[in-house]
Amino acid sequence: MGKNPFTRMNMVTDSLSDLPFSDMLNLLPDGVVFHQAVRDETGIIVDFRLIYFNKAFESFAPSPYKRELGMYMLGDNREQEAILGPAMRQYVQVVETGEMATHVFYDPNLNATISLRARKMGDGVLVTLRDITVQHRAAQQAEMQNKLLHGILNTSLNGTVVYEAIRDSRGTIIDFRFRLYNQTARKDILERIGRDIADHTLLSIYPDSHITGMFGLYARVTETGESVRTEHYFPSVNTWYDVAIAKLDDGCVVTFIDISQLKKASRQAEDQAEFVSKLLDGSLNGLVSLDPVRGNGHLTDLRILSANRAAEVFFQRNQTEVVGRGLLELYPESVEMGLWTMFEQVLKARQAERVEAYLQTDKAELWLDVSATPRDGDGLVVSFINITERKKAERHTGTLIQELQKTNNNLEQFAYVASHDLQEPLRKVVSFGDMLRNQYADTLGANGADMINRMQSAAFRMQILIKDLLAYSHVANAREAFNEVDLNQLVAEVINDLELVILDKKANLVTGALPTVNGDTSQLRQLFQNLISNGLKFSRTDVVPHVQIMADLVRGREVTRPDGTNLLPESLANRGFHRIQVLDNGIGFDQQYAERIFQLFQRLHTRSQFTGTGIGLSIVQKVVENHQGFIRAEGRPNEGSTFVVLLPIKTL
Overall average pLDDT of the 60-83 stretch: 75
| CATH class of the domain whose range is 139-262 | alpha beta
Residue 454: CB atoms within 10 A of its CB come to: 11
Instruction: State the average pLDDT for the chain.
Output: 80
Rounded CA gap, 100 and 109, in Å? 26
pLDDT band with cut points at 50, 70 and 90 for residue 227: very high
Q: Are 352 and 374 in contact (CB under 8 A)?
A: yes
Residue 13's pLDDT is 53
Residue 609's pLDDT is 47
Give which of 541, 529, 536 is closest to 502, Cα–Cα.
Answer: 536
Rounded CA gap, 246 and 255, in Å? 9
Check pLDDT > 90 for residue 173. yes
Entry pTM: 0.39
What fold is seen in the domain 478-648?
Answer: Heat Shock Protein 90 (3.30.565)
Please state whether beta strands 112-121 and 546-555 pair in parallel, antiparallel, or not at all (unpaired).
Answer: unpaired
pLDDT tens digits for range 473-500: 665 555 666 788 899 999 998 888 888 8
| Stronger pLDDT, 510 or 27, i.e. the higher one | 510
Check pLDDT > 60 for residue 610. no
Check pLDDT > 50 for residue 339. yes
Q: Are 221 and 202 in contact (CB under 8 A)?
A: no
Check pLDDT > 70 for residue 95. yes
3-state secondary structure 242-280: EEEEEECCCEEEEEEEECHHHHHHHHHHHHHHHHHHHHH
Are both 282-386 and 478-648 of the same fold?
A: no
Residue 412's pLDDT is 61
Residue 125's pLDDT is 94
| CATH class of the domain whose range is 282-386 | alpha beta
Largest separation between any pair of C-alpha atoms in the chain: 201
Residue 205's pLDDT is 81
Residue 5's pLDDT is 40
| Stronger pLDDT, 543 or 191, i.e. the higher one | 543
Tell me, what amino acid is at 212?
A: T
Superfamily of 5-131 according to CATH: PAS domain (3.30.450.20)
pLDDT tens digits for range 436-471: 777 777 777 777 777 777 776 666 666 666 666 666
Overall average pLDDT of the 85-99 stretch: 90
pLDDT band with cut points at 50, 70 and 90 for residue 98: very high
pLDDT band with cut points at 50, 70 and 90 for residue 651: very low
Provide the residue ranges of all domains of the chain, joining segments of one domain with +: 5-131, 139-262, 282-386, 392-472, 478-648
48 burial class (0-12, 13-18, 19+ CB within 10 angstroms)? buried
